[in-house]
Amino acid sequence: MPLKTSKSPAPNEEWKAWGKLDPLHGVATIPGRAKDDASLWTDDTFYELGVIDWNLFRPKWEQYGVNPRTCVEIGCGARRLTAHLASYFSFVHGLDVSAHMIDYVRARWVGQCIFPYRYRS
């Protein structure tokens, strides 16, 4: 569901708007999963997608000798991958330009990650 504006917003502004409008669909824009659709994303189905993605990414990172102590996730969004990163790394810092994305995460999850950071755009 594209955002309706008179002109295309700057990428950061569009991302911030998705964070406010529909954080899960903004991160994973799969047709039929918007909050007004019958098969909308739930936190559980959204995070299940993160499991699939993490299982694809992790072997590639390990191939290059990733250090499992600390990770900085730039563009953490609504934490699709963050929880899985937190199960692998000792500590994770989540960064995002959208305060709404960070607020979404903070309201739903407590883990060994911190989300105090927000890029200024």
How is residue 12 written in tokens? 């950061």
**Residue 94 corresponds to which amino acid?**
G
Higher pLDDT, 56 or 9: 56
Would residue 5 count as lying in a domain? Answer: no
Name the CA radius of gyration of the chain, rounded: 15
What CATH number corresponds to the domain at position 102?
3.40.50.150
Domain, as residue range, for 28: 11-118
Q: What integer pLDDT is reported at residue 108 of this predicted model?
A: 81
**Phi/psi of residue 52, nearest 5 degrees:** -60, -50
In angstroms, the first-to-last Cα distance of the chain is: 24
What is the per-residue pLDDT across 43-52, written as a single tens digit (0 to 9) for each?
Answer: 899 999 999 9
Would residue 113 count as lying in a domain? Answer: yes
Would residue 1 count as lying in a domain? Answer: no
How far is 30 from 42, CA to CA, in rounded Å? 13
pLDDT at 119 over 60: no
Would residue 3 count as lying in a domain? Answer: no
Whole-structure pTM value: 0.74
Q: What is the DSSP letter of 63?
A: H
Would residue 2 count as lying in a domain? Answer: no
Would residue 107 count as lying in a domain? Answer: yes
Domain count, the chain: 1
